[in-house]
Chains A and B, each alone.
Chain A
């Protein structure tokens, strides 16, 4: 890209210099914003994080009583378990569907059908999370009550299904890219040996694309961990260590969304919510970083 660019950059007109500076500034804006997000969330929570919060209790206790008058407790363990259990459940549903669809769209499909499916998946990805929450609250709630004969349908299962539907599009699109990145010569070699399409997929493509598929699952999981409105509305929103798919739970994200509106600024409770925010930011940052490294790994091969 840069071969022909060594122009006499010293005598550019002034307006050009201004524009180039502006472009460079925009270019690094993402870095500024990522640091800014960490800085400002950290800034609001830092006081209590270093001075007052019992970190061991925060990470291991199940007692979340931030509004109690004489016995305030900030144990987020149940919230962490809630977030991870609903994410695991969502992945159990979304991964087979997501990878299956990606394989079908990339390897078995006619071009016309592929376009149709991709549009459907794109539209599925566009549905706002509050609408998924609303579906969980109404349609899925009644379905679970009828099917499982449960007293109430706002459960981990409900939230898991909603999260699965939201993360399937991400898994499909990234997994499809990973399968496409496998060189055609691999497919041709396998087919020349008499392999059927499925044998090519199972024996050649899946092993060759396994890093990309892993990244797809990781990014789907990151989406589930960070999702707020759907889990707030569909999981019952009750602090509880789940005993099965039909128990209700509360997640880290939903706790912030439900409680931030009711706390006074600078309050311990207010700061704890920002500390949860730091925790969430760190978790998704690490997951995204791993996914990115995994993808970079393939490119270098």
Chain B
């Protein structure tokens, strides 16, 4: 072999017109696809930057801790912000246990048969039901049939059912990541199924389950349509600074609905307030999501198997 070809593989074969064209197309496509993918960063940065820039005049801690004033034309976000926290917490209390145990059933108990396939299909379809149809369901089932009226409880239950697939999907992933040999070792010691799940499977997948729970929080905090007719109101005055100002059988305000109201229904809102509301909502949701991402990365680094 002569030394020339070893230093430069390109000259090993003479480049024909076809291979030159091939290389050319390859480079063009690589750049093209890279540009297309990068374009997705632009709306994200643009939106956050734009909202933040427009909201700058109103942003302060006071903005978060005072109630809306003058028919929502001025003031802050205390009532809607607290309302969103109530809705998220109550919906989480319902959907987290049901979702986690549903995933436990699907992954640890269910056999591979037609019934399990239907259950999985139901999870997929539940995730695909439009949010406004969830709202209609909430009105029909919780507000009217169960007699809860328009209340935090009815709205939270609607949100809980809507976000259930998020928890089921990520918990299933987390449970699948626990090696089968862990379970087999435990069964061999005479442990029952539930003992195995409680002592071995759940502790080893807890971080993955938490990621799903966090994602549920972010999803529930941003939703508008399901709570519009089931418990969130345009305006409700509550005591500022009192964390227990709402009662769960009464209505509340919510950040997402508040943003909709002040940007479409209320005239002459102080410039900046809708943007401030939007940036608080986006900021909350993205921070919660970032927490999930950090948790997932941390989890991957300390995985023991």
> Residues of A with Cβ closer than 8 Å to B?
1-2, 4-5, 7, 12, 16, 19-20, 22-24, 26-31, 33-34, 36-37, 40-41, 43-44, 96-97, 100-101, 103-105, 108, 117, 119-124, 126-131, 133-135, 137-139, 165, 168, 196-199, 201, 219, 222-223, 225-229, 233, 253, 256-257, 260-261, 265, 273-274, 277, 280-281, 284-285, 287-289, 292
Contacts and interface: CB of A to CB of B under 8 A. Distances in A.
Contacts of A20: 109, 193-194
12 contacts: A34-B125, A105-B37, A122-B289, A124-B40, A138-B274, A196-B25, A198-B30, A228-B131, A260-B135, A274-B136, A277-B132, A292-B121
Interface of B: 22-23, 25-26, 29-30, 32-34, 36-37, 39-41, 43-44, 46-47, 50-51, 54, 97-99, 101-102, 104-106, 109-112, 118-119, 121-126, 128-137, 139-141, 144-145, 161, 164-165, 168, 180, 183-184, 187-188, 192-194, 218-219, 221-225, 228-229, 256-257, 259-260, 263-264, 274-275, 278, 281-282, 285-286, 289-290, 293
Q: Is the interface of B mostly helix, strand, loop or mixed?
A: helix
B30 A197 contact: yes
Contacts of A103: 33
Contacts of A104: 33-34, 36-37
A131 B140 contact: no
B25 A30 contact: no
A25 to B, nearest CB: 8
Q: Is the interface of A mostly helix, strand, loop or mixed?
A: helix
A287 B129 CA distance: 11
B110 A27 contact: yes
A244 to B, nearest CB: 24
B132 A280 contact: yes
Contacts of B168: 30
Contacts of A1: 112, 180
B40 A120 contact: yes
A110 to B, nearest CB: 11
A284 B130 contact: yes
A23 B293 contact: no
Contacts of B102: 26-27, 29-30
